[in-house]
A and B are shown apart, each in its own frame.
Chain A
Amino acid sequence: MTWALDHLDEIFSLAGQHAWLAGLPLLIGLVISIPLGWLATRKASLRTGLLTVTGLLYTIPSLALFILLPPLLGTKVLDPVNVIIAMSIYTIALLTRTVADGLAAVDTSTRQAAVAMGYSTFGRFRAVDLPLAIPVVAAGLRVAAVSNVSIVSVASLIGISQLGYFLTDGYARSFPTEVWVGIIACLLLALVFDLVIQLLARVLTPWTRVTA
């Protein structure tokens, strides 16, 4: 406890780094997953292909991705951009299926009514399908957020500073307190992400809370 209080500045600074490395990819991943998920609902053959490929992305070990990306992208090994990109890939892997499922779950009669009223394909997607998919997408986003917060900590193995540093440093120094601080900080951060997403989803979907 004393150790944690003595290192509050460091904890907050690393937590900020961690939030940035885990959070920005959530946004990037969401922005890319939405069109991908939409494409997957357009054709059954596209769906199988897209969901298999994006699903497989998640099976690439994070450490391998952190090491493989720099030569592929021409970035420096210590450049945080590698982590941002790797985490975006994982987010896409998790969210594309969710977006596709969310869009597909829109009630048939609602969709037919939208078509019959003369919405363009994009107009219908923006005005009807996407808003109605928010609850499902938000659920997927919560999973991706927790997963990102957890995976980002691995980046300390390649020397990118964030809360994972407490885990590697604490382990190297055989100092369990530091490891515990790292774990708890990660947990709290994941909780904050989860609450923010839930709150946003709530604000964006007032119709889901009405009672007859």
Chain B
Amino acid sequence: MIRFEGVTKKYGDGSGGESIAVNDLSLEAPTGRITVLVGPSGCGKTTTLRMVNRMIDPSSGVISIDGNDTAELPLAELRRGIGYVIQHAGLFPHRTVLDNVTTVPRLLGTDKKTARRRAMELIERVGLDPDLAKRYPAQLSGGQQQRVGVARALAADPPVMLMDEPFSAVDPVVREQLQNEFLRLQSELGKTILFVTHDIDEAVKLGDQVAVLRVGGTLAQLATPAQLLADPVDDFVAGFVGRDRGYRSLQFAEAPELELTNEPTVTIGTTASSVRAIGEPWVLCVGDDGEPMGWVRAAAVTSAVARDLLQRGGTVASTQGSLRELLDAALSSPSGRGVVADADGRFVGTIRASEVVPVIEARQQSVAAREDAAAAALHGEAAPA
């Protein structure tokens, strides 16, 4: 656990005045969880992060890791025990990928052979081709460099990781890949992570809890992503969390068991007459393993169903997915019927937006009821006094 207690960082402005980067911050980043620090530029999020490994020393207050005051640990020992990932990866250009990854273990005195063996495992674990190990950073794409950065931070198996906008400098497609793999990795490793971003969507996606900071370095709200979207504490947080928060908050609502509609399906090569026999304007085409491939407009099939006739715009929801996935599948489907697949990706049925909405409304009522009950219980306790 990383714990901030009344941490303040002030900078002199050179003419006797001072500016406050972080103001009386108290916060806990629980063990094995991802805590995201998010806020606009100037909110002190990076300063906060860098105070943990003492790249910046706090003006006052205490930061402790698992109960040990960081100010009392030897600097090198503290830093070698904390993984650090930054925006442009910060790889050493003069060292191969492999030698970049072995840096901290080598500093800690691990012999070269052991360090290299472990580094190769990590290189594969972060999704890199082992052949890249001998390359120099300049030979890698931005996304690959960032993966090396993560592997390097993990090399000495530190319990704590600090990540400063690690995925901000890559394109959106690669960013999403990196985010998903990061979550997969974290589910296996369970590190205590402090993660800085300016992107609220990233914060909500990755964080087990999210700390919203405001300019001047004060904590505006610390909450789970779902709480943050559902109940921003003030106008600043509401504004920062942004529009669509009603829709986005559905991603934290697990879909209940819903009754799905059976759907007649076709495959590539189904003849035009069989397609028309179904009697629907849109027909779903599935692959050999029953995986949904796309919708076909029946009127467009002249001889048989072909790949170029498939409309692939619809998203596919998973039976284990969120209400957001279900609603999105329905909204994005040209037929208005959202495609749902099981955990193995096989088509199981469809659902309409009009069937999802009542579930959402029922959920809102149950949340309201729970809050009323909680408030009533609080009054009940307060009443006798």
Measured between alpha carbons, how far is A125 from B165 in the docked complex, in Å? 26
In the complex, the answer to whether B55 meets A210 with C-beta atoms within 8 Å is no
Residues on A with C-beta less than 8 A from B77 are: 118
In the complex, the answer to whether B104 meets A109 with C-beta atoms within 8 Å is no
In the complex, the answer to whether B53 meets A207 with C-beta atoms within 8 Å is no
Q: A116-B84, A117-B79, A117-B107 are in contact. Are A110 and B93 (CB under 8 A)?
A: yes
**Contacting residues of chain B (61-111) with chain A, CB-CB under 8 angstroms:** 75-80, 82, 84, 86-95, 103-104, 107
A2 within 8 Å of B (CB atoms): no
Q: Give the B interface residue count (CB, 8 A).
A: 31
**Contacting residues of chain A (176-212) with chain B, CB-CB under 8 angstroms:** 205-207, 210-212
Residues on A with C-beta less than 8 A from B135 are: 210
In the complex, the answer to whether B139 meets A117 with C-beta atoms within 8 Å is no
Residues on A with C-beta less than 8 A from B93 are: 107, 110, 132, 207
In the complex, the answer to whether A211 meets B76 with C-beta atoms within 8 Å is no
Q: A117-B79, A132-B93, A207-B93 are in contact. Are A112 and B104 (CB under 8 A)?
A: no
- Residue in B75, B92, B139 whose CB lies within 8 Å of A212: B139
A113 within 8 Å of B (CB atoms): yes
B368 within 8 Å of A (CB atoms): no
In the complex, the answer to whether A211 meets B84 with C-beta atoms within 8 Å is no
A131 within 8 Å of B (CB atoms): yes
In the complex, the answer to whether A207 meets B138 with C-beta atoms within 8 Å is yes
Question: Residue on A with the closest CB to B169?
Answer: A109
Measured between alpha carbons, how far is A28 from B80 in the docked complex, in Å? 36
Question: Residue on A with the closest CB to B141?
Answer: A212
In the complex, the answer to whether B104 meets A117 with C-beta atoms within 8 Å is yes
Q: Nearest Cβ distance between residue B43 and chain A, in whole angstroms?
A: 20
A114 within 8 Å of B (CB atoms): yes
In the complex, the answer to whether A205 meets B94 with C-beta atoms within 8 Å is yes
Q: Nearest Cβ distance between residue A110 and chain B, in whole angstroms?
A: 5
**Contacting residues of chain B (219-238) with chain A, CB-CB under 8 angstroms:** none
Q: A109-B87, A109-B88, A112-B55 are in contact. Are A117 and B94 (CB under 8 A)?
A: no
Residues on B with C-beta less than 8 A from A128 are: 92, 94
Chain A CB within 10 A, most for which of B77, B82, B89, B138: B138
In the complex, the answer to whether B76 meets A113 with C-beta atoms within 8 Å is no
Measured between alpha carbons, how far is A106 from B354 in the docked complex, in Å? 59
B136 within 8 Å of A (CB atoms): yes
Measured between alpha carbons, how far is A109 from B93 in the docked complex, in Å? 11
Q: A109-B87, A207-B138 are in contact. Are A119 and B107 (CB under 8 A)?
A: yes
A45 within 8 Å of B (CB atoms): no
Q: Which 4 A-B pairs have the closest CB atoms?
A: A113-B90, A118-B79, A109-B90, A118-B80
